[in-house]
Each structure stands twice: as C-alpha cells, then as structure tokens.
Amino acid sequence: MPTMSSYNPDVLSCLANLSSDEVFTPPQLANKMLDLLPLNIWSDPNAKFLDPACKTGVFLREIAKRLNTGLEEIIPNHYERISHIMNYQIFGIAITELTGLISRRSLYCSKTANGKYSVCTDFYNEEGNIHFQRIKHTWQDDRCVCCGASKSNYARGEELETHAYEFIHTENSEEIFNVKFDVIIGNPPYQLSDGGGSGTSAIPIYNLFVTNAKKLNPKYLIMIIPSRWFAGGKGLDEFRNEMLHDNRIRQIHDFIEATDCFPGVQIKGGVCYFLWNRDNPGNCIVKTYKNGTDNTPLERPLLEKNSDVFIRYNEAISIFHKVLSFSETSMERLVSTRKPFGLPSTFRGLDCCEGHCLRVFQNGGVSYIERSKLSSGKDFIDTWKVFIPFLGSGSDSFPHQILGKPFIGEPGTICTETYLLIGFFSSREECKNVISYISTKFFRFMVLLKKPSQNATKKVYSFVPLQDFSEPWTDEKLYKKYGLIKEEIDFIEKMVRPMDNYDENNM
C-alpha cells in the first residue's frame, strides 16, 4: 500500500473531462487500445503513428514509451532513439490550442517542442509534430458543409474556439504532415450542438473522423467512439451501412456503460473501440463489457442475415436467428410514426370537454381538442388502439426496462408526440392481449436489439414478430413457440426486468 509520500499518480488520469462531447482518455484505456496492435510494430523504426484528435497527448505519450523500449536494440543510444521517435514516428493534430499545449507537455515534457526542457532538442519550432491550426467553418445555408455545425452556434470571434476540427475540415488531410501513416489512433470529439438540444438530438461528428482516417488508408485504425452507431443515431445511417459492410473491422470492444471507460461520464448507449486492419479482412471478434465484467468473445460477421444493424450482444445471435427463421410479419407494421395525430409534445389542449371533443393523452396528463381541428391520423380516432411512450428507458439501468408503460386508447382518444400508437384493433380485449405481449421480456428483448438510446421509434419494433392477438401472451408461451433453450432464456431473463403493473382503469 503506497504512502502519501510515495504515491505518484499519473496526471493524465486526474484531468476532469470538458464534457461528454470531448472526453479525455485515461492512460489505462489508451494502453488497452494500443494492445490491439501487433507486437512487432514497436520495434519498427519506420512505423508512423497519428492521433488526429489530441486532447491530452496520452496516446502519443504511451506510443513513445513502447517505441523507446522496442527500439533499444536497433537504436542503442537513448538520445538518438528519442530524437528519432519524436521527429519521424509520432504525429498529432490538436483539437484546440489548449489541448495542443497539454499534448506537447505530455509528449515532449514541455508545452513547446523547442523549449528548454523538451526531451527532443532537434525541433526548431514550438509545435514539433503536434500541429494546431485555427480553422473556420465553411458556411452554406447556415450549416458547415464539412461537419454540419450551425452557423448561429459556431460562427465565433477570434477569442472563442470554433470547434472546426482541422482533421475533418481540411480537404486533403494527408497534406497536413505529408506522411504516410501506419497507425491512426484516437478518441475524437463526439458531437456538436445543433442549437436544439444535446445527446441524441446533437450532430454526431465522430463518424467524420473515422471516415477521414480510412481515406488515409493506414495499416491499422483504432478509435473509441459512442456505440450508438450500432443501430441508431442522428445522421448515422450511411456511416452505419459503410461500417457494417467493412470486413476490415476485426475487433470491437463494446462497453454498455461508458463509465467503465470514462469514470463519471454518462454517454447514452455506451462506447466502443475497434480495430480496423487494412490487410487482414475477415469476421470481427466482438467482446462486450458491463460493470467491469466481460463476456466470452465471439468471432462473427458485423452484419447478420436479415438485420440492418449491428447486434451488440453475442448471446443474442442464436435467439435472433431462431425468431427470424419463422419469417413472420413484423410488429413494426402496426406502429405509428412520430406525431401520429400531428400534435407536438408541447401541445396543451382544452381543460374540459365542450361539444364534440376528443380526449388527448399528452405529457403530464389529459386534455381535449375539437375534432374539427385535427388534420392527421383521422382513421385512428374511432378505433381501439394502444398508446406507448416514445421515450423508453435508456441502457443505463440494468436489467433494462426498454419501453415505457403502454395503455389502451378507446375510440375517441388521440395522443401528442409524447406517444406512439399501436393499432388499430377491434375490441378492448384485443388491446389487452397486445399489452400482454408488450409486457413480456421476450418482446422487449427483441426491441432492445435495435434500440440504442431512449428514443423508441417505429423502427425499433422491426425485429418483433407479430402475434395472434385473439389470445394473451406470456414469456413461457413465446419461449416454447420459438424453441429457445435454457441458456437463451436465462440471458433474456437477465437482460430485461419485469414491466411495472398497469393501471386497471386503462385495461
């Protein structure tokens, strides 16, 4: 047990994160990512490394340590070895002027590469090989054509950061150093505010770093990014499709809770780091971590047959194939899009019913609206249906609830954007049977496979098979129907919590 006088913590482990958009990488995590590289690369004096999104310089520092050890026999003189590594092998692009100074301090032991205390005496400029250039956004119709940033948010004076990151705002990023890189590794910024919110409503930009890195065609690419791209995420459809069809992604290490990587940081949907191996295509080794534990890795395709998303749980693959083998119609067919009646979540109707009014289920209660004022969803007004919240629980609580509590919508009832509707049906009894199905762990597990965040859009129901709603459903009936074995049942039971009791008045 170290004493206070002998305790010497790594300062890069102690830095507080700026936000959940720009997250500092702990040294332990950086080293786990570097462990994915082949051992012989550390004894290669010609291997060149780039971090395109330097924050603390932790990747560059840890790379330098490994090269310093690996090149001992090839370059025995310590000072010559350090000079060679710093001058010819390690490069970085800082995301801000401040992170450039921090990164130089981490790598060169001096905030300027040519400073008095720099470990490398061969640099004649302050930057060394850690570059920073203030870049401006390129505006078109109030958006940056490179990253999608909002002009109203990011058109700033010289005294403020523009967050126009050089690596994704330079047309030919290979010209920044004019070097052919063997390894690109980093933890890029995750998103930019679009002026309307944060989290899932912000604009993701980590995908742009991955795409630009691939364009440089390194031998190896390793990045840690939010896992939301697996199945959802604003503006990520093209990126997800490209990634899932790229058989050069050979490893994915997936963390259900981001706090397992970044203590104290919550990122909805978790994070993952991956290894892209240019010259060795094949299936991907997938390993999942939760609360400090991990599952048995499984080598499998990124894109399973009959899926358009990445199924993150190895234990779910056999269940997915058994259910899909029945070739049944998807439950998605019965689920509405957002705002099924054209009413936003901010809608507030009348406090009481006057004349021919419709009952409106909205956030925080019930109100009324005149039938004549409704412009959408008229075919559903006078039918039996089921309402379910658009926002379900995220992936942060375990076991998962997955979905909010459904309830019956009688004829003459409608809802705001707060809910989706499932329907339509012929009777209250049929609606009760639908709710019995939704309440099963099986139903919500199949939703979980496509639900990366709190938003429960229509498409998250596409893996759920449609059933005969003339009868109620239980997990036992569904497990038997689809031939699930004990290990598969146990996994579903572990992953999904029982649904809360329902209000009998709505049944």
21-30, 131-140, 142-151, 395-404: the lowest-pLDDT one? 395-404
pLDDT the model gives residue 446? 97
pLDDT higher than threshold 50 for residue 505:
no
pLDDT the model gives residue 7? 42
What is the rounded distance in angstroms from the CA atom of residue 262 to the CA atom of residue 223?
14
CA distances from 65 to 62, 68, 86, 106, 456 (A): 5, 5, 11, 11, 46
Q: Which residues pair with 255 in a beta bridge?
A: 271, 289
Average pLDDT over residues 335-340: 93
What is the helix (H) or strand (E) element at residue 130, kind and residue range? strand 130-131
What is the rounded distance in angstroms from the CA atom of residue 222 to the CA atom of residue 210?
9
Check if the beta carbon of residue 82 is closer than 8 Å to that of residue 94: no
Average pLDDT over residues 327-346: 94
> What is the sign, positive or negative, of the torsion defined by CA atoms of 5, 7, 8, 12?
negative
The pair of structure tokens assigned to 345 is 């979540």
Average pLDDT over residues 245-274: 93
The pair of structure tokens assigned to 270 is 């978790």
For the chain, the domains span 331-506
Q: Which residue has the higher pLDDT, 376 or 184?
A: 184
- pLDDT tens across 30-89, in order? 999 999 999 999 999 999 999 999 999 999 999 999 999 999 999 999 999 999 999 999
Check if the beta carbon of residue 246 is closer than 8 Å to that of residue 218: no
Helix (H, G, I), strand (E, B) or coil at 202: coil
Average pLDDT over residues 210-234: 94
Q: Provide the pLDDT confidence category of residue 1 given band limits of 50, 70 and 90.
A: very low
Q: Which residue has the higher pLDDT, 91 or 234?
A: 91
Q: Provide the pLDDT confidence category of residue 348 given band limits of 50, 70 and 90.
A: confident
Tokens 């550390």 sit on residue:
42
- pLDDT tens across 12-44, in order? 654 545 554 678 999 999 999 999 999 999 999
Helix (H, G, I), strand (E, B) or coil at 67: helix
Q: Which residues pair with 391 in a beta bridge?
A: 455
Q: Which residues pair with 276 in a beta bridge?
A: 221, 249
Integer Rg of the chain from CA: 27
pLDDT the model gives residue 198? 44
Average pLDDT over residues 401-408: 92
Q: Provide the pLDDT confidence category of residue 454 given band limits of 50, 70 and 90.
A: confident
User: Cα torsion for 5, 10, 15, 17, to the nearest 10°?
Assistant: -140
pLDDT higher than threshold 90 for residue 173:
no
Q: Provide the pLDDT confidence category of residue 290 given band limits of 50, 70 and 90.
A: confident
**Phi-psi label, residue 425: left if phi above 0, alpha if psi -120 to 50, beta otherwise:** beta
User: Which amino acid, one-letter code, is at 439?
Assistant: S
**Please, what is the average pLDDT of the chain?**
89
341-350, 385-394, 456-465: the lowest-pLDDT one? 385-394
176-180, 265-269, 331-335, 462-466: the lowest-pLDDT one? 265-269
HSE-up (13 A, CA, CB side) for residue 406: 26
Q: Name the burial class of residue 369, with classes exposed (0-12), middle (13-18) and buried (19+) by CB atoms within 10 angstroms of its CB.
A: buried
pLDDT higher than threshold 50 for residue 322:
yes
Check if the beta carbon of residue 476 is closer than 8 Å to that of residue 436: no
pLDDT the model gives residue 260? 92
pLDDT higher than threshold 80 for residue 189:
yes
